[in-house]
Structure 1
């Protein structure tokens, strides 16, 4: 499969350190020891004592309908307005990275906080997140987010949501920019951690300040940073993708060079980024499958999600204040193809587990459309405090990849 010049131009807009987007954390219940039906029914009971008159909420009055339909597709739907307040704010949670703390940084509009995901199948309403229920589900378990800076964005969102019920202790932090961290909710003996691994496999990252002008990836070798920790982890969430649009050299089995991507200064064969991404997912899923195919563990692969720059990266903008509606924009080729690859590789891994008579759970969490419809949920210029305090300036940098907290990422 080839990539056109326009697609390459689109890909190069993305910054090395600004990557990946959203995973609906509340849906992890789908893959743990409690069923979706039980979770929704439990949440509904909790909501009955605090129910509001908000008629636009897709949860109210519909939960009972799932009794005869335990398998739900949450990936296709639309965003509907709600009056439900966020569970936390920019000052109540200490975990929010400053660049995603849009409220504290002075974002003037708040409408982006009041949208709720409504699945197309009205028999499967998305439940409101309940921190105490979720903590009960992960009691004595360890969830690890493995990937790039959006894996960290996702991790921080989950910590903020759970902190509304139980205060965690930060028991470990390491690496530049807090790339490796671990919290424990002692009341539940529940652990939540993040592992920086933007490629999932062994590699050397591009760093022009050190004279490293391209990524070097070994597509058949898992990154030992997470692979050596797998025995401690019960629920793995892989989330990566955007780093694959950078200049890179790829090596395969036996450290044989396979080719390169966008590295014209190097004399090597072009190697398609889709092939590289597929191979990385296959390597990572093989690693967990061969080690845990007969274990009561769960592996979740989040599908590729959307950035929303209008114009060039960094100094382009994302100033919309409402979600897109169906048909407002066309799904980009790159994101759509990466989504398909993730779903296909998960299906392949599920088949492998079945052939080994195993019971390891491997799931694709398809959030591509859900994020595609939320151009209003990024920090934009509010990745810095009060960017327009001294008037409108030209060239204000924007973040149209990561997500405001609170915001759509909490879904």
Structure 2
């Protein structure tokens, strides 16, 4: 065939036939595949991510927002509905073994928007310039520690009262918890004593939940040295401190945290009998170590809780936070008392000496208390073992930033440092992440038992 332009075209009969055949077959192919596709989608639906955070991590650090990833967490009724969570319950996670890994998301809150942080631990507002300490999270060896879920925690304490009892480490942990919960629901301060905020209480109207702090640095009855003698504390190891114990009937969950005050010079008594003392030159008392005194104080407290709540047939949840190590590397009044800016690597720092012994006593006394509580119903006791993971965070203390802008006028010869407490936000937030996992585990066990 010749085209008008003079060219020649070749006619291929098979091409026309193939095109015609395709036009006839294509509709029937679509009709055949459509029912198969519908059948597949009906019985095997597509699995979509549970939340946007599964794909897109929060890349805007240190902010407060009620739209955080925690608001997308499963409700309490679904804590253990999946097969994976069921397996986790069969083999409890060991949160004591792991390492700190860098996390670009940062904390849930910051030091300028949470009004409950004690000034001495508010490192951000006090001008600490290195903020890398905010971008680490604890990674256990055998499992995953989820990011804190404030809405889930609030659901677990709905219509309940959780009390933190102990020394300033108890307050440190409490303030961390309040700041994280405040990202989902604002608390109201409903009680404050006149003793430097040593006894305070907050209420979350959204969940009718109450959170309290009780100052009791020994848990047992104690008279602090400034009140009776300038050099020694006075401890009654057989009597619990009624400043917190008298409210036991009003408390659903108690978190105990003590340790550091037992290192101070003290005289120890049982009844009116003096047992001895710790570092008491000039007194005619037998010198005894503080380890067994610490054990006696914790044992008396756990026994009192068990007996008082057990006698009424009304159980209680008890958590004992283990000893939190300090990180002084020299004199407390020198600028570089705790100078490290990064966590220790795995295996770089061993748990030993006093830190190991204090932690061991706490764990052992909780296990013994569990045995004693078997005769009563409704008791749940657990140790919140944070000693090792805290030991690996020498960078998380306020140091000289326990004071506002300590170097504004240059470096002075003497400068007080805090290498005991933790910056907020900081490593102590991890304690409450683990606490939440313990509570979720308990909730799952309770639901399976119903």
Provide the C-alpha distance between the structure 1 equivalents of 2:152 and 2:262, rounded to a whole number of angstroms: 37
Which among 244, 269, 292 is matched to residue 251 of structure 1?
Answer: 269
SS at match of 1:308: coil
- Any conservation in 2 of the 1:314–1:399 contact (CA below 8 Å)? no
1:170 is the counterpart of 2:189: yes
67-76 vs 102-111, greater mean Cα deviation: 67-76
Which among 44, 51, 57 is matched to residue 56 of structure 2?
Answer: 51
Larger Rg, first or second structure (1 or 2) = 2
Task: Tell me what 2:33 maps to.
Answer: none
SS at match of 1:178: coil
Task: Tell me what 2:105 maps to.
Answer: 84
Superposition pairs of residues 209-228 of structure 1, within 5 angstroms: 211-228=229-246
What stretches of structure 1 of length at least 5 have no aligned partner?
A: 1-43, 55-62
Provide the C-alpha distance between the structure 1 equivalents of 2:247 and 2:52, rounded to a whole number of angstroms: 38
SS at match of 2:225: coil
By how many angstroms is 1:84 displaced? 1.1
Task: Tell me what 1:141 maps to.
Answer: 160
By how many angstroms is 1:248 displaced? 0.7
TM-score (norm 2): 0.76
| Cα distance per residue 1:286-326 (max 9 Å; x no partner) | 01111223434200011111100111234361121110112
SS at match of 1:312: coil
1:101 is the counterpart of 2:122: yes
| Cα distance per residue 1:104-148 (max 9 Å; x no partner) | 111111110010101111xx2001001111111110111100001
SS at match of 1:177: coil
- Any conservation in 1 of the 2:96–2:388 contact (CA below 8 Å)? yes
238-247 vs 199-208, greater mean Cα deviation: 199-208
Which among 355, 367, 372 is matched to residue 352 of structure 1?
Answer: 372
1:326 is the counterpart of 2:346: yes
By how many angstroms is 1:265 displaced? 1.2
Task: Tell me what 1:317 maps to.
Answer: 337
SS at match of 1:340: helix
Provide the C-alpha distance between the structure 1 equivalents of 2:387 and 2:337, rounded to a whole number of angstroms: 21
| Cα distance per residue 1:20-60 (max 9 Å; x no partner) | xxxxxxxxxxxxxxxxxxxxxxxx94564773288xxxxxx
| Cα distance per residue 1:164-209 (max 9 Å; x no partner) | 111111000014221000000011000001000000011111128x
By how many angstroms is 1:397 displaced? 1.2
Task: Tell me what 1:278 maps to.
Answer: 295
C-alpha spacing 1:175/1:139, structure 2 compared with 1 (3 Å): same
C-alpha spacing 1:342/1:285, structure 2 compared with 1 (3 Å): same
By how many angstroms is 1:86 displaced? 1.5
Provide the C-alpha distance between the structure 1 equivalents of 2:372 and 2:50, rounded to a whole number of angstroms: 39
Provide the C-alpha distance between the structure 2 equivalents of 1:94 and 1:53, rounded to a whole number of angstroms: 24
- Any conservation in 2 of the 1:249–1:261 contact (CA below 8 Å)? yes
217-226 vs 304-313, greater mean Cα deviation: 304-313
SS at match of 1:216: strand
TM-score (norm 1): 0.83
Which among 154, 158, 180 is matched to residue 177 of structure 2?
Answer: 158
SS at match of 2:359: helix
Provide the C-alpha distance between the structure 1 equivalents of 2:185 and 2:85, rounded to a whole number of angstroms: 29
Superposition pairs of residues 229-240 of structure 1, within 5 angstroms: 229-240=247-258
| Cα distance per residue 1:145-173 (max 9 Å; x no partner) | 00011111111111111111111110000
Provide the C-alpha distance between the structure 2 equivalents of 1:296 and 1:176, rounded to a whole number of angstroms: 31
Moved over 6 A (4+): none
Higher relative contact order (CA 8 A, sep 6+): 1
1:299 is the counterpart of 2:304: no
The number of residue pairs the alignment matches comes to: 356
Query: What is the root-mean-square deviation of aligned Cα atoms in Å?
Result: 2.0
Task: Tell me what 1:19 maps to.
Answer: none
- Any conservation in 2 of the 1:106–1:382 contact (CA below 8 Å)? yes
- Any conservation in 1 of the 2:254–2:317 contact (CA below 8 Å)? yes
C-alpha spacing 1:109/1:91, structure 2 compared with 1 (3 Å): same
